[in-house]
Chains A and B, each alone.
Chain A
Amino acid sequence: MILREVAYARSGDKGDTSNICVFVHDAADYPMLVQRLTAERVKGHFAGLVRGDVVRYELPRVHGLNFVLFQALDGGVSATLRIDPHGKSFQSLALAMEVGEGWSIEPLSDPWHASGGA
């Protein structure tokens, strides 16, 4: 299953740093999110895009995690030649992460996988 089935996210930029906050739809899934969505996994998933560290902050009150990705924007909004200088689309790449089975939410649909995408 991919993260998009159980969670939603938003990414933002400050200089060369990106942050992605991720929240589960069902509070019961929060412990599993904490267990499976480690900073190391996110760093691996963003390999090639993020040159610096990935730091994770837990937000138990709102059942979310905030990831801070350093040296993530190829120098920052005004310096990069990337087509998406802000990393607005990073939220969508995060939601493509494989997160395994056993969540409280049943998959709604999985068109991304059905079509054989990344």
Chain B
Amino acid sequence: MPRGALQVGLSIGAGSAYANDRLAPAAAMADSGRVTYIGFDSLAERTMALAHQRRRRDPATGQDERICELIPLLAGYLGRGHRVIGNFGAANPDAAVCDIVDSLRAQGQRGIPIGVIRGDAVLDLVRSLDCELPERQTTVAALGDRVVSANAYIGAEPIVACLQDGAQIVVGGRIADPSLFVGPICHELGWALDDWDAVAHATMVGHLLECGVHSTGGNFEDPPYRVVPDPHRLGFPLADVTRGDAVITKLPGTGGAVDARTMKTQLYYEIHDPAAYLTPDVTADFSDIEIEDLGGDRVRLWGARGLPRPANLKVLVGVDDGFRATGEISFGGPGCVTRARRAEEILRAHLQPYAASLTDVRVDLVGLTSLFGDRPTNVEPSEVRLRMAVHTPARGVADAAAHEVELLYFGPSGGGGVVTSVVPALGVTPAFVPRELVTLSTEVVHS
């Protein structure tokens, strides 16, 4: 449906789906003249904990690491007075503001108002409440010093506050993905944050934009059944939003596709009960959404409904799980599976002395068992790759386990291409806290 004379709307685009997303499509979105708001989701469940790790090493860090690369790409867009919302703050929103201010000043853009949202870091709160960690079947106190971070998913409310105070860039920490879009939509179109149907509609739009190319042909192709044009240059999605509907599309001339299929797969991505999608802003009902494929990479959606927002906020708790060592080695040709299994026996024998310190050991044959477990097959692959992964609290044991994979060069014949790595293992696990115990604040500063 074209935007009618009485339908007040706004156009909003996606700028990133995670911390290391491509920058060029964001620059294209900014330079397109097509949108006045861009939302940048730069966090995933693990990104936040990794950011806290960086901040523990250096208190001046913990923010998104690519702000200084991104801001120059947005110079023209910001110069035209348009707006950006991002969770670039990660574990340190104030450090993100510093980077943004420095970048803007370096390109001669002074006086740009930047809204910062503080208060999503709630480690002290989850400690004092001794929150349950249901997926670990334990509590915060029981894990002691291993609990290293806690961030509450926060919603659109502080974003709207920043925008009302004139912010052109809004930065926070663990802003929930769809809320990055719910804030500007509700602010610009004047929707109350307790108009649950309206907030659910905005949340639907946010959900379709926050994963970037997931809506335009990314993580979608399965030839010959599902193919999109030019998958090497997928465009980021954007939405034309009114109270009655939203039309999702992408920039002209970009690759990929926006059609009923790409919309359906993203609409229900990472949704559990479609009638009760819980966000900090709303309990959204996506079970009765209608999808009309308008052709030309345009899809119209409407019909989301809302119920009041949840009383609790979800918190992601970061847990120090020691170290993770991985190592891989390939075997090929006749008998490769037998030789790889023999290598596994040798490897497990050499790991035996470390057993007391290994909290988890896994050995898979890539090409045979690594994704779906040991399933019956009557075809021998022409090559397999043994992959070992272990968890241990001891760095030395992790190094020794990785080294044992390297030593498989002297195991069964023909093993080649060893790669190993040892990294800190940082777990994240959910908890829930009463919303009223999380105190958020906002401030607008200028570049």
A-B interaction = yes
- Taking a contact as CB atoms under 8 Å apart, the answer to whether A21 and B269 are in contact is yes
- Taking a contact as CB atoms under 8 Å apart, the answer to whether A9 and B265 are in contact is yes
29 examples of A-B residue contacts, CB within 8 angstroms: A8-B261, A10-B266, A13-B270, A19-B271, A23-B261, A23-B265, A48-B372, A49-B372, A57-B287, A61-B303, A66-B274, A68-B272, A75-B135, A76-B135, A76-B427, A76-B429, A78-B45, A78-B46, A78-B425, A78-B428, A79-B429, A81-B390, A82-B370, A83-B366, A83-B370, A83-B387, A84-B371, A108-B224, A108-B225
User: Which residues of chain B are near A17, meaning CB under 8 Å?
Assistant: 272
Query: Does A88 make an interface contact (CB < 8 A)?
Result: yes
A15 to B370, CA, bound (A): 20
Q: What's the minimum C-beta distance from B290 to chain A, rounded to whole angstroms?
A: 6
Query: Does A1 make an interface contact (CB < 8 A)?
Result: no
- Taking a contact as CB atoms under 8 Å apart, the answer to whether A116 and B321 are in contact is no
B residues whose Cβ falls under 8 Å from a Cβ of A: 45-46, 49, 135, 219-220, 222, 224-226, 261, 264-275, 287-291, 303, 321, 324, 360-362, 364, 366, 370-379, 387, 389-391, 425-430
- Taking a contact as CB atoms under 8 Å apart, the answer to whether B268 and A116 are in contact is no
- Taking a contact as CB atoms under 8 Å apart, the answer to whether A19 and B379 are in contact is no
What is the number of residues of chain A that contact chain B, defined by CB distance less than 8 Å?
A: 44
User: Which residues of chain A are near B390, meaning CB under 8 Å?
Assistant: 81
User: Which residues of chain B are near A19, meaning CB under 8 Å?
Assistant: 268-272
In chain A, what residue has the closest Cβ to B366? A83
User: Which residues of chain B are near A89, meaning CB under 8 Å?
Assistant: 371-372
A14 to B46, CA, bound (A): 11
Q: Which 9 pairs, one residue from A and one from B, show the smallest C-beta to C-beta distance?
A: A12-B270, A81-B389, A21-B268, A81-B362, A10-B265, A48-B373, A78-B427, A118-B375, A83-B370
A19 to B287, CA, bound (A): 15
A76 to B325, CA, bound (A): 17
User: Which residues of chain B are near A108, meaning CB under 8 Å?
Assistant: 224-225
- Taking a contact as CB atoms under 8 Å apart, the answer to whether A61 and B427 are in contact is no
Contact residue among A16, A109, A118 (Cβ-Cβ distance under 8 Å from B377): A118
- Taking a contact as CB atoms under 8 Å apart, the answer to whether B135 and A15 are in contact is yes
A76 to B49, CA, bound (A): 14
Q: 8 Å CB contacts to B: which residues of A1-40?
A: 4-5, 8-10, 12-17, 19, 21, 23, 25
Contact residue among A23, A61, A95 (Cβ-Cβ distance under 8 Å from B290): A61
Q: What's the minimum C-beta distance from B78 to chain A, rounded to whole angstroms?
A: 33
- Taking a contact as CB atoms under 8 Å apart, the answer to whether A4 and B222 are in contact is yes
Known: A4-B222, A8-B222, A81-B391. A16 touches B135 (CB 8 A): yes
- Taking a contact as CB atoms under 8 Å apart, the answer to whether B429 and A64 are in contact is no
A59 to B220, CA, bound (A): 20
User: Which residues of chain B are near A75, meaning CB under 8 Å?
Assistant: 135
Q: What's the minimum C-beta distance from B178 to chain A, rounded to whole angstroms?
A: 14
- Taking a contact as CB atoms under 8 Å apart, the answer to whether B378 and A116 are in contact is yes
User: Which residues of chain A are near B135, meaning CB under 8 Å?
Assistant: 15-16, 75-76
User: Which residues of chain A are near B425, meaning CB under 8 Å?
Assistant: 78
- Taking a contact as CB atoms under 8 Å apart, the answer to whether A21 and B264 are in contact is yes
| Additional A-B contacts beyond A4-B222, A66-B272 (18; CB < 8 A) | A12-B270, A15-B45, A23-B264, A57-B275, A61-B288, A61-B303, A62-B289, A68-B273, A76-B429, A77-B45, A78-B46, A78-B426, A78-B428, A79-B429, A82-B362, A93-B371, A108-B224, A109-B224
